[in-house]
Structure 1
Amino acid sequence: MESILVLMQSPEAWIALITLIVMEVVLGIDNLIFISILTNKLPPEHRVSARRIGIGLALVMRLALLGTIAWIVKLTAPVFELFGHGFSWKDMILIAGGLFLVWKATKEIHHNVDPDDHNEDFIASSVNASFGAAIGQILLLDLVFSVDSIITAVGMTPHLPIMVVAVVVAVTVMLVAATPLANFIEKNPTIVMLALAFLLMIGTTLIAEGMGFHVPKGYVYAAMAFSALVEVLNMVSRNARLKNKPGNQSLH
C-alpha cells in the first residue's frame, strides 16, 4: 500500500500511466475492429453479450498475464535461428497471430465480394456463427496483442500497479466503444471492407515484426486514420447527393 501511495505522488509515475493508457487504447483499436466484424455475424440478440463476455474475459487474461511478467519477458529470448534471425516465442506468437488475421480477413473479404459462395470455415463465418467460437477468437487475438503490449509496457515502467490500472482503463474504454463501433460498421457496408483491409494490414505487420522487420506503428495508424478520413468524406458526399436528389427533397 505504501508503494502505491508513493507512486501516486510521483509525476513520473503519472506520465508513465497516461502514456501506457494511450498506448493500450490505440492498440485496442485493432481488437475492436476484429470484435465488431466477428460479433456482427452473430444473431442480434447475442451480439452485445458476446462483446461483453469476450472483452471481459480478455481483461481477466491480461491481468493474469501481468502476474507472470517475469516469464513473459523471457519470451523475447531466441529459441532457434533461421536465415540469420533468432526467433523467440514472442516472434512465433506474433507470426501465428498475423497469419490468423490475414487468413480471417481474406476469408471475410471473399465472403463480402462473393456472398453467394457458402463455403464456410471451421469457425462458422455464417450469420449463425457459434457464440463460443466467437469468444474463443476474441481471446486468441487478444492473447497476441497482450503479449506484445505487456513486453512494451515493461520497457516503459517497472511498476506493476501502473500496468494494471492502464489495462483496466483501456479495456473499460473498449467495453464502452465496442457496441457503437459495431453498429456503425454494420450500418455502413463500405466501412466493413475498409476494416477488413485494416485487419489485413495489421496481420501483415505482425508477421513482419515476427520476422525481425520493425514496422513503426505510427506509420500504420497514420495510414489507417487517413483511409478512415477519406471514407468519412465519401460517406458525407454520398449522403449529400442523396439529400439533393429531387425525390428526396422536402416539400415546402
Structure 2
Amino acid sequence: MENISALLADPAAWAALVTLVVMEVVLGIDNLIFISILSNKLPEADRQKARRIGIGLALVMRLLLLTAIAWIVALTAPVFDLGITGPLGAHGEPSFETQFSWRDLILIAGGLFLMWKATKEIHHTLDGGESEELLDKTRSAVEIGFTAAIVQIILLDIVFSIDSILTAVGMTEHVEIMYVAVIAAVTVMLIAADPLANFINRNPTVVMLALGFLLMIGMVLIAEGFGAHIPKGYIYTAMAFSAGVEMLNIFARRRRERAKAGH
C-alpha cells in the first residue's frame, strides 16, 4: 500500500503511466486490425463473440506475462549465434544481428505468419468478381471456422503481447504502472473493436488497406527479429497518412453516390 501511495503522489509516475497507456494503445492497433479482419470472415452471429474472446485473451496473456516479467526479460538473451560477419553500417556496427534470442525468433515467426495470412486474404479478395453474386461466393469460400479463427488470434496475441510487455519494461520499472497501462489499453481495444470491424466490413477498399497494413507490420516484425530496428513513429505515420487518403476516397465516393441518388 505504501508503494502505491508513493506512486500516486509522484508526478513522474503519472507521466510514465500516461505515456505508457498511449504507447500500449498504439501497439494494440496492430492486434486489433488483425482481430477485426479475421472475425469478419466468420458468420455474422459469431463475429462479436470472436472479437470479445480475442481481446479478452490478449488481456489475459499480457497480465500473465507481467507476472512472469523476469522470464520475459530473459527472452532477450541470445540462444544461438550464426557466426556470420555481415556488412557494417555507417557507424561501424553490424547492419543485422547474427545472435538470436527467443524474442527474435517469436517476432520472426509472427511476422511470417502475418505476411502469409495477409497475402492469402489479398489473394482471395482479388479472386472475387465485380458482381454481388460472385462476391457472396468469395465470402463463403473464405469463411473460416470459429475454432480456427480463435487459434490464429491466439498465435498473434502471443506475439503482440510479448512485444507490448517488453515495450512496457523499457519505459518504466514499476509493475503497478504496467498493469494499469495494459488494462487501460485493452479496454480501449474492447470499445473500439466492434466499430472498427463494422467499418472495415462496410468498406471493401478499407479491407485491402488493412491487409496492406498487416503486410507492413509482418515485415517490420521480421526486421525487428533480425535486429533492424525501425522507429515505430515512421510506421504509424505511414499508416495514418494512408488511412487519411482512404478516408478522402470514401467521402468522395459517398458524395458521388448522393449526387447520383439526387438525380
Give a deviation string over 1:156-213, Cα, whole Å, max 9, x none. 1111110000010111111110000000000000000000000000000000010111
Please give the per-residue CA displacement for 1:51-83, whole angstroms capped at 9, x wherever unaligned. 111111221111011000001101111111123
Which of residues 115, 122, 137 in structure 1 aligns to 2:128?
115
State the SS of the aligned residue for 2:142. coil
1:76 aligns to what SS in structure 2?
coil
Find out whether 1:99 has 2:112 as its counterpart. Answer: yes
Q: Distance in 1 between matches of 2:262 and 2:128?
A: 34
Aligned to 1:20: 20
Contact 1:25–1:173 under 8 Å retained in 2: yes
User: Sequence identity of aligned pairs in percent?
Assistant: 68
Tell me, yes or no, if structure 1 residue 231 matches structure 2 residue 250: no
Distance 1:59 1:149 in 2: 11
Distance 1:7 1:226 in 2: 37
Q: Counterpart in 1 of 2:169?
A: 154
Structure 1 length normalisation: TM-score? 0.92
Q: In the alignment, which residue of structure 2 is the partner of 1:40?
A: 40
- CA offset at residue 125 of structure 1? 7.4
User: How do 1:168-247 and structure 2 match up within 5 A?
Assistant: 168-245=183-260
Q: Deviations over 1:206-240 (max 9, x none)?
A: 00010111111100100000000000001111111
Runs of 4+ aligned structure 1 residues displaced above 6 Å come to: none
Distance 1:115 1:244 in 2: 28
The alignment of Structure 1 onto Structure 2 pairs a total of residues equal to 241
SS, match of residue 80 in structure 1: strand
After superposing the two structures, state which structure 1 stretch, 154-163 or 190-199, moved more. 154-163
Q: Which amino acid aligns with 2:152?
A: Q
C-alpha RMSD over aligned residues? 1.6
Deviation at 1:115, TM superposition (A): 3.2
Opposite residue 197 of structure 1, the aligned amino acid is: G
Distance 2:20 2:187 in 1: 14
Give the match for residue 94 of structure 2.
none
1:116-155 equivalent positions in 2, closer than 5 A: 126-127=142-143, 129-155=144-170
Distance in 2 between residues matched to 1:9 and 1:133, nearest whole Å? 47
Separation in structure 2 between the aligned mates of residue 4 and residue 208 of structure 1, nearest angstrom: 38
CA deviations over 1:107-147 (Å, ceiling 9, x no partner): 00000001389xxxxxx9722x2212211211211111111
CA distance in 1: counterparts of 2:32 and 2:166, whole angstroms: 21
User: Please, which runs of 5 or more residues in structure 1 have no aligned partner?
Assistant: 118-123
Higher alpha-carbon deviation: 181-190 or 48-57: 48-57
TM-score by length of 2: 0.88
Whether the aligned pair in 1 keeps the contact of 2:114 and 2:218 (CA below 8 Å) is yes
| Residue 163 in structure 1 maps to residue 173 in structure 2 | no
- Post-superposition shift, 1:100? 0.3
Aligned letter for 2:218? G
Letter in 2 for 1:223: A
Which residue is equivalent to 1:79? 79
The answer (yes or no) to whether the contact 1:41–1:125 under 8 Å persists in 2 is: no
